Each structure stands twice: as C-alpha cells, then as structure tokens.
A and B are shown apart, each in its own frame.
Chain A
Amino acid sequence: MSLAVRVIPCLDVDAGRVVKGVNFVDLVDAGDPVEMAKVYDAEGADELTFLDITASSDDRSTTFEVVGSTAEQVFIPLTVGGGVREVDDVNRLLRAGADKVGINTGAIARPEVIAEITGRFGNQVLVLSVDARRSDEQPSGYEVTTHGGRRSAGLDAVEWVKRAGELGVGEVLLNSMDADGTKQGFDLEMIRAVRSVTRVPLVASGGAGRLEHFAPAVHAGADAVLAASVFHFGELTIGQVKDSLRREGIHVR
C-alpha cells in the first residue's frame, strides 16, 4: 500500500458560522462548523480545513471556540487559516486544537515569519495558502493575489511557492482564483507549474464541480484535493469523490 490521496472539505468560517460564496462574494450561510465537521468525518474526509474569514478581531475568539469544540469531537487533522501574522497567532490556534495553521497575506507581508513559525513548531504545522490567478505580468504566467482575489500582490505565484518551500513551509494549498466558484475543474496547468518547483505536499483547490474533475488534479501533481461548496450543498459526497479517484487507480483511504 502507499500514502492515500487526501480529500479535504474546506469550511469558510465567519464569526463561528460556515459560509461559502461564489468567487468569494455573496456569502451564503451553510451551517454550524462543528456539526458539519462531524458529518464530513463520518463521510470519510481525510482532513478538515477551516478558513477564518472573520473581519473583526473582536469576533476572533469565536474562532478559537469553534476550533476547540471541533478538535474535541472530530479526530481527524484540522487546519485553520485566516488572519495569521505572527508566531503567537499560530501558538493560540495550536493550543486551541488546530493541527496545522494556514498562512497567506501574513507571509506575503513578512516572509521571515515562515522561519519564525517553523523554527518553533516544526515545518509540518505551516501551510502556505496561495490565492493565484493567471497573469501576463509575471514570468510564470501566474500571480499571487490578496483580499479574496481583488488585489495583486505583485508576486510570481510559482516563484513564491518555491521561496516559501525554501523558507520552511510544510505544505502548500494552491487555490486558483480563476477557477474558484466556476465548477469547471481545477487549473491543471497551474498545479503542474507549482508541483515542479516544490517538494512539499500540494493541496489543489478551486474549480471542483463534478466527480471527473478530481483525478486529473492528482495526475497533475496534487497530493490532496480540497473543495467547499460542492460538499456543503450536497452536490457531491466525500465518498463519491473517493470512489471516482479509486476508479482512476488512485489510492484513497
């Protein structure tokens, strides 16, 4: 046997509730994160990802509560991202019950924070989350964006992943802002481009709409596939996605 390809549902959490919008606008409330986490666990999810999109720091404490209750009730790995800027943010999330922490804008603003975090907690706790889109402005043809894809960070996405790997991140979550919400499939070319420059596990995100979309992402180099709305709204189940991967000869749990 070998390492299984992971299927990961992602829950966007705002002030303790799950939301997910198409292309990150028009957010729709889709439920209680702890209850949804239990359902996904029962369906065979290999990990869970919470993206905390809570804008105000006053509401951040609800995130810790949600992370804590999830960790106490669901015994699969939990990654939490959103608003992580420094070592202390990571420490608080790990203490609350997160196993891995995602960093995005915080690392773009100050790349040294990657080494600060991994030096203390190890590489395996830090996931670099990259919101990338196609752009003629960058040598690789892909640029990093911030603010839910509304702004360019002025960075080449492939170069950024390479550098972050050297700085010590333990995993990369690659989200295609072009494909996100379209349900037209993952950006396979971008997955291939990023895979070629990094040795750390790669999670593909953005664009999953139908069962046949998942296996190509794995064949393009993803170690895990992540999706949100197709799972939340019951269009696809984790089990169906795993069956579709199995049929393509991909090992899943």
Chain B
Amino acid sequence: MTAKVAVLDYGSGNLRSALRAVERAGAEVVLTTDQDVALEADGLLVPGVGAFAACMQGLREVDGERLIEKRLIANRPVMGICVGMQILFAQGIEHGVQADGCGEWPGTVEELQAPVVPHMGWNTVEPGAGSRMFEGLEDASFYFVHSYGVREWLLEPPPAFPQPVVTWTSYGPERFVSAVENGPLWATQFHPEKSGDAGAQLLRNWVGTL
C-alpha cells in the first residue's frame, strides 16, 4: 500500500518542491489545512519558513499544535522541516523576544553566532548512533538556510522510553542540532526537499517507516 502523506499548509513559502519531493519518495501526497485529512494521513509533514513567532502563529491558526499532539499520542509519524523543526522545541528567542513553541522537546532556538549568517548552503551532518533517517547517507551533504538553531539537546528520557537519535552539524564556531528521530517525531533543520538525491533518499527513509 502506498503511504499517504499530508503536508500542512499553514503559511507561505515554496511548498511545491516539498509536495513533489515526497511524491518522488513514493508516497501519495496532499496539501491540507483540514484536521481530519491531516490526522488520518500515514505521515504528517510540517514545513516552515520565516520567523519562529510568525510560524507558531500560523500553526495555531490551523490548530496545528493540537494536531501534532494528537498524532503523537497515537504514535502517528510527524516530520518537521527547518522552522517546522524549530517550533517543536519549547521556545525560540528572536531579537531578544521569547516565543513559546510546541514544547515537544525541551530546549531553546537561538540566533547563530558565526561570521556569516544565515547559515546558507550545503553542509554535512554527524548522524546519531542507530539513525534510520540517515541510512545510506552518512557522508552526504544537505541544504541549510537558517539564522537560528538549537545548541543543546536536553531531553533524556528514562531507559524504558525510546531513546532519541540526535544528529549534529557544525558551522564555524557553532554546533547545532540538525536532525532528530524521536519515536514517531522526526525533524530536520535542513531542507531534504531541496537537497537533491541525498534529500530524496532521506525522504524515502522516512516514507519507508510509514
């Protein structure tokens, strides 16, 4: 059976590449703001561009927080991309102003301190041990474009819980979380839909879990 993926349409930006990339990864894809469609899909993709606070506001307007929560309680896969990953953390700080995120993971999204910002272009990753997301992609490069990131991974679940697989990327003096696999909740700071063949393989790895 072909997996069905819903792409959450809650703001602006290029969603066309995301839709086609997921389709290319072997899934049936639909762009939606409809709660039922988004709940029933085998996978939910949460894209995201722009500012953290603006993104959260857009997400709330489609009741996206509750949607993500409902899916995770039922162990239904969700994948966040770029700011769609950042808003899964507890909070973001932009220009000194703090905004609440979805709080799926503890941690703060902060401005990157590097000589050149945004971090824009192709960079490599250090996949966490046992990563399924990066299977066959250990040396691949992915396309990043962001000015904010998460410097510390704070979630340490008790041993009985699934252990999160955290992937890191370095840029100048910075080292930040570039991907997370935490039970049904996956996320990437980079854009797999813009990362050519490597990104396509990563999306196939995700669709393969649905």
Interface centre among B15, B21, B145, B200 (most CB of A within 10 A): B145
A97 contact from B12, B17, B115, Cβ within 8 A: B17
**B16 and A72 contact, CB distance less than 8 A:** yes
**B171 and A3 contact, CB distance less than 8 A:** yes
**A3 and B121 contact, CB distance less than 8 A:** yes
C-alpha gap A124/B54 in the complex (Å): 14
Interface centre among A41, A125, A223 (most CB of B within 10 A): A125
A76 contact from B51, B117, B143, Cβ within 8 A: B143
B 185-209 binary contact with A (CB < 8 Å = 1; else 0): 0000001011110011000000000
**B49 and A125 contact, CB distance less than 8 A:** yes
**A253 and B122 contact, CB distance less than 8 A:** yes
Interface membership of B120, Cβ < 8 A: yes
Residues of B within 8 A of A95 (CB): 12, 14-16
Interface centre among B24, B193, B194 (most CB of A within 10 A): B194
- Secondary structure at the B interface, as helix, strand, loop or mixed, is mixed
Given contacts A68-B16, A124-B147, A201-B116, contact A75 B196 (CB under 8 A): yes
Given contacts A121-B50, A122-B51, contact A99 B17 (CB under 8 A): yes
Write the chain B residue with the least CB distance to A224.
B121
B 111-145 binary contact with A (CB < 8 Å = 1; else 0): 00001111111111000000000000000010111
Interface residues of A in 102-131 (CB under 8 A from B): 120-125
**A124 and B120 contact, CB distance less than 8 A:** yes
Interface membership of A219, Cβ < 8 A: no
C-alpha gap A202/B117 in the complex (Å): 10
Given contacts A68-B16, A123-B147, contact A170 B120 (CB under 8 A): yes
A96 contact from B16, B147, B194, Cβ within 8 A: B16
Given contacts A71-B20, A253-B141, contact A200 B118 (CB under 8 A): yes
C-alpha gap A6/B191 in the complex (Å): 16
Write the chain B residue with the least CB distance to A1.
B124
Interface membership of B35, Cβ < 8 A: no
Interface membership of B75, Cβ < 8 A: no
**B122 and A122 contact, CB distance less than 8 A:** no
Residues of B within 8 A of A1 (CB): 123-124, 170
Write the chain A residue with the least CB distance to B197.
A75
**A71 and B17 contact, CB distance less than 8 A:** yes
**B17 and A223 contact, CB distance less than 8 A:** no
Interface membership of B151, Cβ < 8 A: no
Interface membership of A91, Cβ < 8 A: yes
**A71 and B16 contact, CB distance less than 8 A:** yes
Interface membership of A250, Cβ < 8 A: no
* Nearest chain A CB to B202 CB, angstrom units: 11
Residues of A within 8 A of B196 (CB): 41, 75-76
* Nearest chain B CB to A114 CB, angstrom units: 15
**A77 and B194 contact, CB distance less than 8 A:** yes
* Nearest chain B CB to A154 CB, angstrom units: 29
C-alpha gap A34/B146 in the complex (Å): 27
A3-B171, A96-B16, A124-B49 are known contacts; what are 9 more A-B pairs with Cβ within 8 Å? A3-B144, A73-B20, A77-B191, A121-B12, A124-B118, A124-B145, A201-B116, A201-B120, A223-B120
Residues of A that sit less than 8 Å from B by CB? 1-6, 41, 46, 68, 71-73, 75-77, 91, 94-100, 120-125, 170-171, 199-202, 223-224, 253
Q: Which 7 A-B pairs have the closest CB atoms?
A: A122-B50, A1-B124, A97-B16, A253-B122, A4-B122, A72-B20, A124-B145
Could you give 12 example pairs across A and B, Cβ below 8 Å? A2-B171, A3-B171, A72-B16, A73-B20, A75-B200, A77-B191, A91-B12, A97-B14, A97-B16, A100-B145, A125-B49, A223-B120
